[in-house]
């Protein structure tokens, strides 16, 4: 069964960082991605370039049943290849991870879809792109134990003469066949650029909520 990857869009903003995550998923699963809970017109326009788009939440689509599988770190059971063989929909939370994790997939999705199956891909927090990569490999018959995972990624960037930037991403990243962490295209540059821009806006606005649509 060729399942549909459902991304429940739960972020208030769309920026280059989350777009890189979403674009990677669309590349892995061409013509098989559905973005749900997309309320804003601008978000509808942008995400329709990557896949199908639905204003309603996944909770409102009438697909809460055994053919729907939710990926949730809080789920008791680990994802197995046979789980995907019987799935029509695989739900991924469109959430930029927080540290420590806040259990938002369970809070916003899983607890409302009691007839669906929930599975974890490990107890660590993955990125959206990393989650999709793991799903892809498991759908090809690999078990989670076949996949190599690294925990935490440090990005070093020089942002000016004598000024360097060090960013630590406290997430789990699957590793590809070449031994490299699985990352979307230009991911490191995007994260570095976003971090600098974010800090500048926080300093100028005096708060830590910065929303900049792409």
Q: Compute the Cα dihedral for 93, 96, 102, 107 and give only its sign.
A: negative
Digit-coded pLDDT (tens) for 50-75: 999 999 999 999 999 999 999 999 99
Full-model pTM: 0.88
Report the chain's terminal Cα–Cα distance, integer Å: 35
Digit-coded pLDDT (tens) for 85-139: 999 999 999 988 666 777 899 999 999 999 999 999 998 899 999 999 999 999 9
C-alpha 134/C-alpha 182 separation (Å) is: 10
Predicted local confidence at residue 155, as pLDDT = 81
Share above pLDDT 70 across residues of the chain, in percent, rounded to a whole number: 86
pLDDT level of residue 196 (50, 70, 90 thresholds): low
Find all residues with CB under 8 Å of 95, minimum gap 6, and list them. 10, 11, 104, 105, 128
Q: Which residue intervals of the chain are DSSP H helices? A: 16-28, 41-47, 81-85, 104-108, 128-139, 187-205
Residue 34 contacts residue 90 (beta carbons within 8 Å): no
Q: What is the mean pLDDT of residues 168-178?
A: 93
pLDDT level of residue 203 (50, 70, 90 thresholds): very low
Q: Could you tell me the residue ranges of all domains in the chain?
A: 4-147
CATH of 4-147, one of 2.130.10.10, 3.60.140.10, 3.40.640.10, 3.40.1280.10: 3.40.1280.10
Residues shown for the chain: 214
């Amino acid at each position: 069964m060729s399942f549909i990857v459902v991304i429940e869009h739960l972020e208030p903003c769309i920026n280059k960082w989350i777009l890189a995550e979403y674009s990677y998923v669309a590349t892995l699963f061409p013509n098989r991605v559905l973005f749900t809970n997309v309320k804003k017109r601008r978000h509808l326009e942008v995400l329709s370039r990557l896949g199908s788009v639905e204003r309603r939440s996944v909770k409102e689509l009438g697909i809460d049943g055994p053919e729907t599988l939710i990926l949730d770190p809080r789920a008791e059971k680990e994802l197995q290849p046979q789980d995907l063989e019987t799935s029509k929909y695989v739900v991924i939370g469109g959430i930029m991870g927080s540290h420590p994790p806040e259990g938002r997939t369970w809070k916003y999705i899983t607890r409302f879809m009691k007839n669906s199956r929930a599975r974890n891909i490990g107890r660590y927090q993955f990125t959206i792109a990393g989650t999709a990569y793991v799903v892809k490999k498991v759908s090809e018959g690999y078990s989670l134990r076949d996949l190599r995972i690294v925990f935490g990624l440090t990005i070093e960037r020089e942002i000016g003469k004598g000024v360097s930037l060090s960013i630590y991403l406290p997430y789990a990243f699957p590793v590809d066949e070449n031994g490299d962490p699985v990352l979307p295209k230009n991911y490191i540059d995007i994260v570095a650029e976003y971090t600098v821009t974010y800090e500048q806006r926080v300093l100028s606005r005096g708060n830590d909520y910065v929303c900049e649509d792409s």
